[in-house]
Structure 1
Amino acid sequence: MGHYTYILHSKEIDRYYVGFTSDALKERLRKHNTNHKGYTGKANDWVVVYFETYNSKKEAYAREREIKSKKSRDYIERLISSAG
């Protein structure tokens, strides 16, 4: 089973969301796009724009924290474009 660090984007609110999961990305995305409270509940058009695969949950979580620590939209957009 893979563990993922991922970045979602919503055109509706023009925001990014960084997260990690041990679920299949498709299933995790479905959960983000359901009506719920929380950051991703603000929109329901989230799409996966970037992801990295890790062998452990610990590694995926550490990478999520690293990306979030940058507090930089520019950094996120550079990551996305480098994967293109």
Structure 2
Amino acid sequence: MEYFVYILYSKLKSEFYIGYTSNLEERIIRHNQKSKGFTGSVNDWELVYKETFTQKELAIQREKVIKSWKSSVKIKELIGGNM
């Protein structure tokens, strides 16, 4: 099974969201359905970056590393764009 660490971006919120999942397409759909939670208030989340892992534990570790940065500058460097 494959696991993905992904970064979404919302123009409306001007925010990044970092997560991990084993079903990336379904997860993006769920993020774009208006609901409770951080991503639920808007529905314009776009995938801007992903990494693929064969072990869930490695995906979780990588997600924690990226989230620990708490820096949009470092995230922009990772995804290779200037948003």
State the TM-score bracket (shorter-chain normalisation).
Answer: over 0.9
Unaligned runs of 5+ in 1: none
Distance 1:56 1:36 in 2: 29
> TM-score scaled to structure 1, two decimals?
0.92
* TM-superposed deviation, 1:29: 0.3
- 1:73 aligns with 72
> TM-score scaled to structure 2, two decimals?
0.93
* TM-superposed deviation, 1:35: 1.5
* TM-superposed deviation, 1:18: 0.3
Secondary structure of 2:8's partner? strand
Distance 2:12 2:69 in 1: 24
Distance 1:67 1:14 in 2: 18
Task: Kindly report structure 1 stretches of 4+ aligned residues shifted beyond 3 Å.
Answer: none
Letter paired with 1:55 = T
Whether 2:54 is the aligned partner of 1:55: answer yes
List aligned pairs for 1:8-27, cutoff 5 A.
Answer: 8-23=8-23, 25-27=24-26
Unaligned runs of 5+ in 2: none
Across the two proteins, how many residue pairs are aligned to each other?
Answer: 81
Give me the CA root mean square deviation.
Answer: 1.0
Greater fraction of residues in helix: 1
